[in-house]
Amino acid sequence: MGHPQESVGGLPRPKTGEPSGRVRRPFPSADVGTGDRWVFGFPGRARAEVHTRGARLHSLVVPDRWGRLADVVLSPREAGALQGEARYFGATVGRYANRIAHGRLTVDGVTHRLDTQDTGHSLHGGPDGFDQRSWRCEPFHSANRTGVRLFLHSPDGDQGFPGAVSIRVSYTLDREDNLTLSYRAEAEAPTVVNLSNHAFWNLEGEDRGNILAHHLQIDAPLFTPVDAELIPEGPHRPVSDTPFDLRRPRRLSDVLTHTDAQLITAGGGFDHNWVLYPARRSQLRRAAVLHAPVSGRRLEVRTTEPGMQVYTGNGFSGDVIGKGGRPYRAYAGIALETQHFPDSPNRASDPTTLLRPGEVYRSTTVLSFTTD
């Protein structure tokens, strides 16, 4: 990123002429339109870059088994791509992550018509979701933790959703290379809230081809089948005897070449929700492990959420050029989106996403990076 590795108080040392101090001030992004950005981390450990546009994880640099650093988060080189195929890369998505069928939402017997994309469905909060907003940001730093908090106010009627909502998202790095994503929201009227992060990962490095050699394990007994428009279809199904059975690690190339109809429906890979083993909402439990055999990098995902949407980048066309200068083609990265289930406001059997005044929405996901 062009910044010295030497640090002040755990953050990159300012360039000559920039203000010094314990926490670095924001500086303009080199790519016009991405908004302010913040860089934080500890010397010799993981280093993150977060952009205020979309409360977006733009970069995460972590070591491999030999201590060599690489950026493992896909992001476009050009800011304009954030309006197209790369729109959700690294972003905080909401007010409702994933899909709401036909943009129809009923709260307390009142039906609301949400703004929809060209598909006729609401995806990740609508055409002008949280990924397109400029979030207010403040940094924090202590001896063992450093990061940023981002704030957004979503007014009543935003993209058709009822009730104003105030949201806070925190990115926190510790000295053990754990990146914690914490979400908090409060509503002024009954509404639904379902927040997630949409980072795409390639643990060999964002410019190192595809993730087909990665091994993936998901601790889930059920998955959610979808129809041709990727809307949930019927009840959740057991993963047994399907390519969705990842309760033991499996190489993605071995799984995605299966002729299963659900893989074909999603464009030749995963774009599905896994139903994680149940736990109390306030408890963290392991959801997934992703491993890159060449670099030895390992990502363990723990979450308080009941589900995880996995998208293997099946639709990447190569039109987006990444930070390293290489195009992102199919399977260039994998998204592991911890969240509530798609279209759950219209599925009575699914865990509720309803948030009422006086209640607090809380969600935590911890991404732990190690090597083998």
Active site residues: 198, 337
Sign of the dihedral through C-alpha 32, 321, 296, 248: positive
DSSP-derived 3-state class of residue 321 = strand
CA dist 194 and 105 (Å) reads 13
Which of 95, 109, 99, 93 lies closest to 157, judged by CA? 95
* Best CA proximity match to 213, nearest among 251, 265, 247, 184: 251
Q: Is 349 exposed, middle or buried (0-12, 13-18, 19+ CB in 10 A)?
A: exposed
Asked if 326 and 79 touch (Cβ cutoff 8 Å), the reply is no
Cα–Cα distance, 51 to 142 (Å, whole number): 21
